[in-house]
Amino acid sequence: MAGPWVNSLTWYCKSHAPTFTWKGCLYLVDTLAGDPEVLQVDAETYYEKLSKKSSSAPDVYSIPGGKEVKLEDSCVCFVPLYRNNPTCKMLLLTDPKDKETVLAVYLNQCWWPVEDVVKTADPSRDGLISVQTFGERIVLFVLNYIIFGMLEGSSANDAFFLPHSATECAKILWRNGEAVAFYSVKMKGSLCDSTTSQCYLLPVLDTIFVRRKYRRGGLGMKMLHDFCLSFMAEDALGISCPISAAMYQGKSFDVEALVCQKFLQTYPEEQKRLWEVEAPGDWSQRVNIWLKIQMESSPAGKAKAGFQTTKPRQSDVDQMSKGVKYIPGVGKVAGDATEKKMTQQHRVLDKRT
């Protein structure tokens, strides 16, 4: 059955309508308090029923504009919620005409539109807030994997992010009831990856993203400044290598703000602290960002064209290849779409190497 209209969107709800208060709608992040394992069992049970349901009378999901999508197993797929943990999965509804376009996420026995997953009715969620609850992990996943990875990250200048780990230190930037940006940090002393015993030797800003409609508003600079303020006792801070030429020159996530040069000009006290680093961040694996900017801005530096590309780390590509598993019946459809997207991204990035 089709549920009620909420903020010009209609969602399909399997057993109950969305929760309302006198102020309006409580969104997923405001209400999700159940056991993640129980929620996943619910999703798996729902999928089993969906796959057995007669194709002659399928349920439908309504999208803006009055169109309806049939809820069939060919349009749904499970994807890993966390990096290095393929057992914890999210059930997604994709557009039948474009398997890379995600329409909704299934949780709490409901299909939630992507845009509603990143909204909140809680006025206390404002500004940069650390990710702590399971609901906030879902918001981080949707911002990173779906909105950036599938819906907005179409430019060759964009980086390539994998799903975060279950314990990733991250902050979401909330504004006017909506999650509009995030950044994540590899903490000093944390393991570099699951295949090594090496640990990070300094805090490293690993991923950062501002939604397209909120760029050019200084949010990138705000997050970079917050990162620096969070580790005032550290003599050195890192930004994961490679930093793209676009981020150095101001053509990436936030044209006016997320620019290393502008940030370091505004906060000169950080010029000696910020380094482009490769894990684990030994001194031989660091390049001072301000020094690199100065060298690249010189005639000799420009001739050498020393900027690096946004090519994903091979270890990340290997993890994605091993970690992404899809449910029977839709694995080929969803898997092929993801593999095609990764191949296209790598091809574009290789051309810029």
Report the percentage of the chain scoring pLDDT > 90.
42
Q: How far apart are the C-alpha atoms of 304 and 295, rounded to whole Å?
A: 10
Q: How far apart are the C-alpha atoms of 148 and 200, rounded to whole Å?
A: 26
Residue 282 contacts residue 288 (beta carbons within 8 Å): no
**In the chain, ranges of CATH 3.40.630.30 domains:** 123-311
> Rounded to the nearest 10 degrees, what angle do helices 331-351 and 314-323 cross at?
170
CATH number for region 123-311: 3.40.630.30
Check residue 165 and report its DSSP letter: P
pLDDT score recorded for residue 247? 57
Q: How far apart are the C-alpha atoms of 213 and 310, rounded to whole Å?
A: 22
What does each of the 353 residues of the chain score in pLDDT, given as a tens digit? 333 323 333 333 333 334 433 245 789 999 887 788 888 899 999 998 888 876 667 788 888 777 888 888 888 999 999 988 888 999 999 998 888 889 999 998 889 999 999 999 999 999 999 999 999 999 999 999 999 888 786 554 455 568 899 989 999 999 999 999 999 999 999 998 878 889 999 999 998 889 999 988 889 889 999 999 999 999 999 999 877 655 555 444 433 334 688 899 999 999 999 999 999 999 999 999 999 888 877 666 554 544 443 444 544 545 444 444 443 333 333 333 333 333 333 322 222 22
Check residue 151 and report its DSSP letter: I
Burial 37-71 (b: 16+ CB within 10 A, else e): eebbebbeebbeebeeeeeeebbebbbeeeeebeb
Find the helix or strand (DSSP H, E) in which 221 lies. helix 219-229
Burial 157-185 (b: 16+ CB within 10 A, else e): bbbbbbbbbeebbbbbbbeeebbbbbbbb
For CA atoms 308, 82, 215, 97, give the dihedral sign: positive
pLDDT score recorded for residue 260? 84
pLDDT score recorded for residue 271? 96
| Number of residues assigned to the chain | 353
Other C-beta atoms closer than 10 Å to the C-beta of 253 total: 25
**Cβ-based neighbours of 44, under 8 Å, separated by 6 or more:** none
pLDDT score recorded for residue 244? 60
pLDDT score recorded for residue 322? 47
